[in-house]
Amino acid sequence: MDAPIITIRDLVNRFGTQVVHEDLSLDVRRGEILGVVGGSGTGKSVLMRSIIGLQQPAAGAIAIEGKQLSQLSDDEAVALRRRWGVLFQRGALFSTLTVAENIQAPLREHTEIDEPLLGEIAGYKLAMVGLPPSAAPKYPVELSGGMIKRAALARALALDPSLLFLDEPTAGLDPIAASAFDALIRELRELLGLTVFLITHDLDTLFAICDRVAVLADRKVVAVAPIPELLENPHPGSGNIFEGRAVGRPQHGSSRWKPAPVMCLSAALSWCWLQPCSASSSGWRASTQAPPRISTSCSMARSPD
Ligand SMILES: Nc1ncnc2c1ncn2[C@@H]1O[C@H](COP(=O)(O)OP(=O)(O)O)[C@@H](O)[C@H]1O
Ligand SMILES: [Mg+2]
Ligand 1 atom with the smallest distance to the CA of 168 is 23
Residue with CA nearest ligand 1 atom 27: 41
Averaged pLDDT score across all residues of the chain: 80
What is the C-alpha separation between 33 and 196, in angstroms, rounded?
A: 5
Q: Answer whether 54 contacts ligand 1 (Cβ < 6 A).
A: no
Report pTM.
Answer: 0.80
156 CA to centre of ligand 2 in angstroms: 18
Give the pLDDT of residue 260: 27
- Which ranges of the chain would DSSP assign to H, the alpha helix? 44-51, 74-81, 99-110, 115-128, 145-156, 175-192, 203-209, 227-232
| pLDDT at site 173 | 87
72-112 pLDDT per residue, tens: 999 999 899 899 999 998 767 999 999 999 999 999 998 99
* Range scoring the smallest mean pLDDT among 194-203, 229-238, 244-253, 275-284: 275-284
Ligand 1 within 6 A of CB of 152? no
Q: 280 C-alpha vs ligand 2 centroid, how far in Å?
A: 40
The whole-number pLDDT of residue 249 equals 56
Could you tell me the sign of the dihedral formed by the alpha carbons of 266, 270, 271, 277, in that order? Answer: negative
3-state secondary structure of 176: helix
- For 245-284, write each residue's pLDDT tens digit: 444 555 433 332 333 222 222 222 322 222 233 333 333 3
The distance between the two most distant Cα atoms of the chain, rounded to a whole number of Å, is: 65
- Interval 45-55: pLDDT, tens: 999 999 999 99
Given a contact cutoff of 8 angstroms between Cβ atoms, the answer to whether 81 and 53 are in contact is yes
User: Is 242 in contact with 265 (CB distance < 8 Å)?
Assistant: yes
Q: Tell me which residue of 204, 135, 164, 188 sits closest to 298, measured CA to CA.
A: 188
Q: What is the pLDDT of residue 240?
A: 55
State how far the Cα of 83 lies from the Cα of 79, in Å rounded to an integer.
Answer: 7
Quick one: residue 50, left, alpha or beta (phi over 0 = left, psi -120 to 50 = alpha)?
Answer: alpha
Distance 44 CA to ligand 2 centre (A): 5
**Which are the contacts of 202, defined by CB distance < 8 A and separation ≥ 6?**
168, 170, 171, 178
Ligand 1: distance of its center to the CA of 13 in Å?
10
Q: Are 289 and 262 in contact (CB under 8 A)?
A: no
Helix runs in 40-199, H state only: 44-51, 74-81, 99-110, 115-128, 145-156, 175-192
